[in-house]
Amino acid sequence: MPSLKAIKTRIASVKNTQKITRAMKLVAAAKMKRAVDAAVQSRPYSEEVTAVLSSLMARIGDNEHPLLKPHDEVKNAVVIVLTSDRGLCGGFNSQLLRKVDGWLFDNLNIDSRFESAEVVIYGKKARDHYIRKTDINVGQTHVDLHPSQFSDLSAKLISDLTERFVGGEVDEVYLAYNRFVSTLNQEPTVEQIFPLTSLAGDAEEPEHLTEFVYEPSQTQILSDILPLFLRTRIYQVFLESEAGEHAARMMAMDGATNNAKKVIDKLTLQYNRARQAAITKELIEIVSGAEAL
């Protein structure tokens, strides 16, 4: 059995750890509140841009816009992976990376849909994960992300990908991120953004836009609004990933704090038992000595 001093030292160590996890939980909760507010405030704009785009697609129908037209041959794909820069957030990063790895394996090995796939990385956790995988083609890498950079990063990313897609260098582009569902649930998601086949041919005109007249022309406005829609979509994904990271870290630190309390209670009980046993032993020795005299 460990000595009383060893148990007492371990209790103090766990209490110090508990203080750290409790502080990290409070910090994550404050950051999550700001991130969720930013994501929620951005949604009306994102939804309205999507509504206008749906209205245009419903009116125009089949369109030969290069961002809507699939390539004849699909050989090269790009996967944009959004993870966090820091850890201690439960399975937030690991679940997404496992999903992306499975998606890449399915499309490159099982059905061989693509000849090659390039991974564009946002976040240190994805960078560290794919650096160890020598068979994965890693493209641009962005780390130490801050919410103030999200708008510029979104615009630059869409500009680069649009140029590569229209030029035929890339045939399809996918976005992998954690969709913020609630504080307790962040859903790993892989969705296609180039070409925008989900918008072509299936769009329905929103009721509140049926009376609108578009000038100078619907086709010209469509050409202008498609990049705006993509930038807005990527920006919204950045915000939701940020909110999901802080929510996952808050829950992870809450669980760690509760576990630390359980360990402290268990060690305290062990300490009290050991102390009681030591006192009982001393009393027995005293009584035995007295009887011997």
Q: 89 catalytic, yes or no?
A: yes
Q: What distance lies between CA 162 and its chain's CA centroid?
A: 24
DSSP output for the chain: ---HHHHHHHHHHHHHHHHHHHHHHHHHHHHHHHHHHHHHHHHHHHHHHHHHHHHHHHHH-S---TTTSPPSS--EEEEEEE--SS--STTHHHHHHHHHHHHHHIIIIIS---SEEEEEEESHHHHHHHHS-TTSEEEEEE-S--GGGHHHHHHHHHHHHHHHHHTTS-SEEEEEEEEEEETTEEEEEEEEEES-TTTTTT----GGGTT---SS-HHHHHHHHHHHHHHHHHHHHHHHHHHHHHHHHHHHHHHHHHHHHHHHHHHHHHHHHHHHHHHHHHHHHHHHHHHH-
Which one of 53, 80, 81, 89 is the catalytic residue?
A: 89
Report the half-sphere exposure of 213 (CA within 13 A, side-chain side): 1
R_g over Cα of the chain: 28
Residues linked to residue 187 through DSSP beta bridges, in sequence order:
179
Q: Looking at the annotation, which residues are catalytic?
A: 89
